[in-house]
Copies of this chain bind each other. A is one copy, B any other.
Amino acid sequence: MAFDPQTGQFEFNDWNISQAVSDLQRTIPRQNLLDQPAQLAPYECDGLSAYRKVPKMVVLPETIEQCQQIMRYCKERAIPLIARGAGTGLSGGVLPVEQAIVLSLTKFNRIRKIDPLQRLAVVEPGVRNLAITEAASQYGLYFAPDPSSQIACSIGGNVAENSGGVHSLKYGLTVNNVMGLKIINADGEIIEIGGGECMDSPGYDLLALMHGSEGLLGVIIEITVRLVPKPEAAQVLLAAFDSVTDAGNAVRDIISAGIIPAGMEMMDRLAIEAAEDFVHADYPLAEALLLCELDGTHSAIEQQMAQVESIVKNCQAHDISLSQDDAQRALFWAGRKAAFPAVGRISPDYYCMDGTIPRKELPEVLTRITELSKHYGLRCANVFHAGDGNLHPLILYDANKPGDLEKAEQFGADICKLSIDKGGTITGEHGVGVEKIDLMCHQFDSPELLQFHRIKSVLDHQGILNPGKAVPSLHRCAELGAMHVHAGKLPHPDIPRF
């Protein structure tokens, strides 16, 4: 293993695959050790397929002890280890690197316990997000975070990326819905983190630290999630607007009225057209569409929905509809939930961005995105969590057209920098991965990045856990010109070496 100060990256030593198979199969079944090209190919990328790299080896452990064995094996030989869930991530967070072993957690797919009184479930990391809600529904409970990929994505990945969803406005991100974790640290030891069945735990709060740490601090092997009672009812209001600004004002006024919607989503004209063409949700054609869901008791919804209706009318909404039953509510959401594949039908390729801004900045940022769209000559559909200020611009491009991908990436980076300038962040819920690692140099200054490196350096001092993701080296930021370098020296001579 060697560290390259120019790139800030580690170079990991070469190791022998047949030797590793022979070593690991002492405790891991041979068929769970993948080393053939055809077996390895599916692991070359996640949902960000613009970046690909076939891993050297994939291991599918079935027990916690096997996970510990793999971790210790990698530790002793300084082999990079990349834990992988369902592979639905959108930032290249599980992109293999040279010499890496991918540790797939798909066989950890059991729901170990559902406790309706404690309102919690204990699950393995490979359990699908939606499967938790399915299993809890017999008790009138559900797991609140609902990323668009919830049919496929796994809860371990949700923790690693701190996923959100349509209902995060009221119910929070994954971090707000997890009570405890069991992880394997870089030493191969099992660590229990968080209060588990209790509300809090003494000692430093490592529970949130693991959320969104993108596999860099440990491997998650068990998750205790909070379940919430299904509300008695839920209703969606659909409203059309002649301008994105009017819709943005409606969002502002609903929040100002003290209402906390279960979800509040916006779509712009291009997204509406694409979705309507795909799922026929009966959306009115307009410059902007607002979906506002309230949940709670029937009576509370009735009272607050009247307020929401009056607010959107004051903001020049037209074509206002209220869902009359759960079937219609599902139809109203169908267009929003299918917006990404719908956009995929009108363009050979699209690039899904993810930035967060203070919600008062929505109108100005959307106007600026329209200008950038003209500048780059690339269409952009906007579908987003308006209540959270979490944008998802979909940049349409054609990968077969030379230069188009680069233009799309530049456009995306401009949106992220715009978010930072407006007091926002470069990612709301998709993570940094490899996609946004350079943008981290703009988001944070060197003492802040150094705090991250310090944490990493003590929890994984060899830097074997998912190297090259999430947190850029200070050298990398210096090269990008995002950091002041005096006389060739970085601001902190004591930077840990990754």
**Contact surface of A with B, Cβ cutoff 8 Å:** 116-119, 140-141, 162, 164, 168, 172-173, 175-176, 185, 187, 189-192, 195-209, 211-213, 217, 229-230, 252, 255-256, 258-260, 296-297, 299-300, 302-304, 356-360, 388-390, 423-429, 431-432, 436, 440, 443-444, 447-449, 451-452, 454-459, 470-471, 496
Contacts and interface: CB of A to CB of B under 8 A. Distances in A.
Contact of A359 (B118, B211, B448, B452): B118
Contacts of A426: 202
A296 to B, nearest CB: 6
Contacts of A119: 255
A229 B258 CA distance: 5
A471 to B, nearest CB: 6
Contacts of A388: 199
Given A198-B424, A447-B191, A207 B208 contact: yes
Contacts of A205: 162, 175, 208-209, 211-213
A454 B119 CA distance: 33
A455 to B, nearest CB: 5
Nearest to A118: B358
B299 A200 contact: no
A202 B432 contact: yes
Contact of A447 (B190, B211, B449, B470): B190
Nearest to A251: B117
Interchain residue pairs A-B with the least CB separation, the first 4:
A208-B208, A229-B258, A299-B299, A454-B458
Contacts of A229: 258-260
Contacts of A162: 200, 205
Nearest to A303: B297
